[in-house]
Chains A and B, each alone.
Chain A
Amino acid sequence: MSEITANHQFDQKIQIEKRWAFWKGVVLSISMVFYFGFAIRYLFLQFADYYEFDPGFLGDSTILLYLIPASVVLGYLWSTSPQSLGRILAEKTNRVLKNFFDKKTTAGWIYTPSGIFTGLVLLVTAAIGVNVTGMSIRKLFEADGFNGAINIFSKILSPNWGILDLVLTYMVETIFIALMATLIAVPIAFTLSFFAAKNLMRESRRTIGVYYLVRLIANFTRSVEPLVWAIIFSVWVGVGPFAGSMALMLHSVASLLKLYSEQIENIDHGPVEAIEATGANRIQVVWYAVVPQIVLPFLSFTIYRWDINVRMATVIGLVGGGGVGTLLMQYQGLAKWNEVGTAVFAIAAVVWLMDTMSAKVREAIY
């Protein structure tokens, strides 16, 4: 009897998931149809503008009011087909339904009406891309600009080695900015990573809440470019290497947190179970069963991060984060291209060196 109830419950669950996925698919389809209509109109208006003819009723912005109901109807009709892109996306990403997804329907999918429509959407998007970015083959080969670029290039390629000692002094600053950012970021990211690992935080509602909070803050911090953080910190603590290293530190914490916590989620659960069974508490379980499994990957990520930070520190210098980037910016402002060349070569050499070293060290660890 109870087996029947269990099966029944499962069937019901699938029904609910199917309905949910269907409506998700409908929303996706409607937005795609709307986007397509909007994009076609935009392209047409650009075309009309360029060749100077009257776009007629398409030029009237009230057309958008008709586009909304039209795309709702068309989008809904489209998603009644299980082949529609919206439905496929919704069902394939559903945690329950993806196991039942009929793979046969996806073969030769590109030749179906849905596939052709998807192709059209991509094509229109590419056309808009060319228009928005103002791409032009003609400009690329205009004599004036082209000669200017060649002039700068030839100066950069004959660096002024007389200022090498100055460049190297700033280079050392850059390396230390990266080092301090990494040193401070590692313990913070290490501690937080356990709270951002789902397998350790599933226990109760409260812990899963902490998990989502940490993830949210980390994702926000990571999605703001270090360049922006550098600007914020240079206002906060003043222009210079301190601002640069704080910006890099913040971004490193968020990035390492992601890598670390994913590593924790991939551990073998067996030892965790065994240590839990001995009556050890949460911290002991983490310290004895989780940490030994993650130290080496963590070390490898950390070295890689330092490598990335050295590269980023030069960029951060451009907005006042100190180091060789700041020097580069000053010479560029004065159009001293030979000196810019020296800085560029120094940066390239150090980045190459860091890259090779970090690859070797990580190879040795594994």
Chain B
Amino acid sequence: MEAGLSTRQSPILEINQLEKIYDNGVHALRNINFKVYEGDFLGIIGLSGSGKSTLLRSINRLIEPTSGSVKFKGSELTNLSSSKLREKRRKIGMIFQHFNLVNRKSVLANVLSGRLGSYSTWQTLNGSYPIDEIERAKEYLRIVGLEDKADNRADELSGGQKQRVAIARSLMQSPDILLADEPVASLDPATSHSVMRYLERANQEFGMTILCNLHFLSLVRRYTTRVIALKDGEIVFEGLPQAIDEQWFREIYGEEAVEVEIN
């Protein structure tokens, strides 16, 4: 256990004995146990297919876990009815490798869609939001440096800009935690760092707890405060990013692996 852990309060997210077996027989998660504390920037690493994406999606139940428990701020998520689950999802932001913006809508509309869960169906069908929500959306667009793109269509943006819009969309939720599924995997190195810095700001300035799947160890060392490593659906490492030395690296990525840097 890390130093200073005992001084913290109860965990914001607590995962116990989480298992996921897909219909085709793939055992994607095996006995996953870990805790995340408020203010953590948790990196999750592992090879493709090691279960990183399944793990994140099992938390907000975009993928239904087979068994085990996910406790978010002390309340169990796995047994919630769909309406109760939607309530909890409002407090869990998520960004994706392929950004998942609605391409034909404006950037502003995409940011505002982060608030859909807080309004009734009728209020949202005509696409008009209260003026203060629009102001907030513009404010978050300013924070991610895209205030001048508010009226552009989302598919006119570059990859890095799309991911920043996605970050603004999740900021609209004022989430307690943010799940980031390989947010920079389809971006170039320079853009990757710019996106990661926005996540860092969200973590430090807005106090958002972040769980982030990452491929590059250099990004993990630079940005995360704690890291877990998955291999074949199991946690094989948990600790500080600095603790991942050559030996651990081979353990996680296999004997043949060579580390590549992203600068």
Contact = CB atoms under 8 A, between A and B. Distances in A.
Pair from one complex: yes
16 contacts: A6-B27, A10-B25, A270-B99, A271-B102, A273-B100, A277-B60, A277-B94, A278-B93, A278-B94, A278-B113, A279-B86, A279-B90, A280-B113, A281-B83, A281-B121, A283-B125
A279 B117 contact: yes
Residue of A9, A274, A277, A287 most packed against chain B (CB within 10 A): A277
A276 interface: yes
Closest 6 CB pairs of A and B: A279-B117, A279-B89, A270-B100, A274-B100, A279-B90, A280-B116
A280 B86 contact: yes
A13 B94 CA distance: 36
A278 B62 contact: no
Interface in B53-71: 60, 62
Interface string A6-24: 1101100100000000000
A293 interface: yes
Contacts of A3: 27, 232
Nearest to A271: B102
B30 A2 contact: yes
Contact of B114 (A9, A13, A278): A278
Label chain B's interface by main secondary structure.
mixed
Nearest to B95: A274
Interface of A: 2-3, 6-7, 9-10, 13, 270-271, 273-281, 283-284, 287-289, 292-293, 295
Label chain A's interface by main secondary structure.
helix
Given A6-B21, A6-B25, A284-B124, A278 B105 contact: no
A6 B24 CA distance: 9
A274 B124 CA distance: 17
B100 A281 contact: no
Given A2-B30, A278-B169, A288 B96 contact: no
Given A7-B25, A284-B116, A293-B104, A279 B88 contact: yes
A2 B19 CA distance: 11
Nearest to A270: B100
B163 to A, nearest CB: 12
B166 interface: yes
Given A13-B25, A279-B89, 6 more contacts: A6-B21, A270-B96, A273-B96, A277-B89, A279-B118, A288-B124
